[in-house]
């Protein structure tokens, strides 16, 4: 009898939303592999390695800018690190030690202090008022502090309802912290310093799987990862188990760190495959696996913006030290602006039109990051009855071609305003009419080039 073979075609994988550089060895010391990475801005990245060093750069895309600083801890190997800003970083390790820096760019770190005798796994700090840092440990506890550099006495221990050790923590604001643990649970708090009763019961969202990564870029989006290659998402993280979507397989095993910003999420891995999982629609279940690092573990990732992600790896040979791989976000879509005042075809009594108002949007393009609006510019043309034109430049109108706008920068981004520096003369004498143009520019440098009457090209008169 002939045997039939059922072949299932898998959907084609989407292109990566990032362009990745080749690995660069920035920490060529034995055990220089990365145990943590935190980049609060594109101008500061801080990694923690297995040799007791903090590895820092103020220009992470330039390999020569990275330098290491020894931090003396009990077991000589550093762990997770969280930089709330360019003025505060907190590092924790599995010997129960904590190191703090208020000037991480210079490589200056205070002497570590011993917090407890259990392993410290995760740390998250936020600088929004009220200031807050939270550490998770291997004994189902969290430690909270509003003065992290003040020594062990400024940290408060709180037991949480975890069936296993909480492995990672993220606090997008001082009024929301989310923990994941080794037993597939999520634990949350809207009052992290309020004691044990302010932390939720464990919500099992992932069976018995070990969850290692959690990132909540906002209070309405959390993305977690586990060691069997699943991603779990929620738009209401405090809503209990039912508020979390079912696990989605990424196609990459042993997921570790998660970093989400804007519409971009990147997840690293402890698999020896040199791959990361990426998505620009994490709640939609669409993930792309990209090979960026040979047969090394990609280990840890931090994305300070949708245009920049930094991976710190764990090479197959510890003697090779630590590499960084840089991901540059793809945003080729042009932003769009709209003028709301003045309306196209409107007429204004002299002196009543005092500013130009409008909105701007950086549209989502499938498979690309959304960098956001950088600025909006406005051009105002005075069309004269002799056929010539003048454009507003600074505080006065200057002669120029009718097709050569003079651009002035507005205030604001998604909602913007441009205060008129002069009272516009009436368009009843030598002046025939006025036209105002707007154009948006996004953070990737894309510039609006299409102008449409009634949207970003409005004509008006002054009487």
Helix (H, G, I), strand (E, B) or coil at 318: helix
CA angle 69, 74, 75 (to 5 degrees): 85
Contact present, 106 and 132 (Cβ < 8 Å) = no
Q: What was the pLDDT predicted at 164?
A: 85
- Boundaries of every domain in the chain: 18-329, 336-462
Token pair recorded at residue 35: 């145990």
User: Of all residues in the chain, what percent carry a pLDDT higher than 70?
Assistant: 97
Categorize the per-residue pLDDT at 75 as very low, low, confident or very high, splitting at 50, 70 and 90. Answer: confident
CATH class of 336-462: mainly beta
Q: What is the pLDDT of residue 8?
A: 29
Q: Residue 253's pLDDT is what?
A: 93
Q: CA-CA distance, 46 to 57, in Å (whole number)?
A: 7
Binned at pLDDT 50, 70 and 90, residue 13 comes out as low
Instruction: Check residue 399 and give its pLDDT.
Output: 97
Q: Classify the phi-psi angles of 311: left when phi > 0, otherwise alpha if psi is within -120 to 50, otherwise beta.
A: beta
What's the pLDDT tens digit per position in 412-447? 999 999 999 999 999 999 999 999 999 999 999 999
- Span 50-69, pLDDT tens digits: 999 999 999 999 999 999 99
Tell me what pLDDT residue 227 has: 96
Q: How many angstroms from the chain centroid is the CA of residue 199? A: 26
Strands 113-114 and 97-101: antiparallel
- Name the residue among 312, 310, 311, 306 with its Cα closest to residue 329: 306
Superfamily holding 18-329: YVTN repeat-like/Quinoprotein amine dehydrogenase (2.130.10.10)
Q: Which two tokens stand for residue 292?
A: 């960026």
List, in sequence order, every beta strand (DSSP E) within 93-250.
Answer: 97-101, 113-114, 120-126, 132-137, 141-145, 156-159, 166-173, 176-181, 185-189, 203-204, 211-218, 221-226, 230-234, 248-249
- What mean pLDDT is reported for the chain? 94
Q: Is 460 strand, coil or helix?
A: strand
pLDDT of residue 455: 98
pTM: predicted TM-score of the whole model, two decimal places: 0.87
């Amino acid at each position: 009898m002939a045997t039939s073979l059922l072949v299932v075609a898998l959907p084609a994988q989407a292109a990566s939303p990032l362009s990745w550089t080749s690995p660069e060895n920035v920490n060529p010391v034995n055990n220089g592999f990365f145990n943590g990475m935190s980049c609060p801005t594109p101008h500061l990245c801080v990694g923690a390695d297995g040799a007791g060093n903090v590895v820092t750069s103020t220009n992470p895309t330039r390999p020569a800018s990275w330098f290491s600083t020894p931090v003396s801890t009990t077991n000589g190997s550093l762990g997770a690190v969280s930089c709330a800003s360019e003025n505060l970083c907190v590092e924790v390790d599995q010997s129960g030690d904590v190191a703090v820096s208020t000037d991480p760019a210079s490589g200056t770190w205070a002497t570590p202090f011993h917090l407890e005798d259990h392993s410290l796994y995760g740390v998250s700090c936020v600088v929004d008022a009220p200031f807050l840092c939270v550490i998770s440990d291997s004994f189902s506890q969290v430690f909270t502090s509003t003065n992290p550099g003040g020594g062990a006495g400024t940290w408060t221990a709180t037991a949480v309802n975890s069936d296993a050790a909480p492995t990672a923590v993220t606090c997008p604001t001082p009024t929301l912290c989310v923990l994941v643990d080794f037993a597939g649970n999520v634990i949350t708090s809207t009052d992290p310093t309020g004691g044990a009763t302010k932390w939720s019961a464990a919500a099992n969202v992932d069976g018995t799987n070990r969850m290692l990564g959690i990132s909540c870029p906002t209070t309405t989006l959390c993305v977690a990862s586990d060691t069997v290659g699943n991603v779990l998402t929620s738009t209401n993280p405090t809503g209990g188990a039912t508020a979390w979507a079912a696990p989605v397989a990424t196609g990459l095993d042993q997921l570790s760190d998660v970093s989400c910003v804007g519409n971009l999420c990147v997840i690293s891995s402890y698999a020896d495959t040199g791959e990361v999982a990426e998505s620009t629609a994490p709640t939609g279940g669409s993930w792309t696996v990209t090979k960026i690092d040979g047969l090394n573990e990609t280990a840890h990732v931090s994305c300070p913006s949708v245009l920049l992600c930094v991976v710190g790896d764990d090479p197959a040979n510890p003697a090779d030290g630590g590499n960084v791989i840089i991901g540059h976000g793809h945003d080729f879509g042009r932003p769009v602006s709209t003028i709301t005042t003045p309306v196209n075809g409107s007429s204004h009594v002299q002196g009543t039109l005092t500013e130009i108002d409008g909105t701007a949007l950086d549209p989502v393009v499938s498979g690309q990051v959304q960098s956001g609006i950088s600025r909006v510019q406005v051009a105002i043309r005075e069309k004269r009855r002799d056929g010539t034109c003048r454009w507003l430049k600074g505080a006065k109108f200057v002669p120029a071609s009718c097709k050569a706008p003079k651009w002035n920068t507005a205030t604001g981004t998604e909602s913007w305003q441009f205060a008129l520096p002069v009272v516009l003369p009436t368009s009843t004498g030598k002046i025939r009419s006025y036209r105002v143009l707007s154009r948006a520019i996004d953070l990737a440098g894309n510039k609006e080039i299409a102008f449409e009457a009634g949207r970003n090209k409005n004509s008006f008169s002054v009487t």
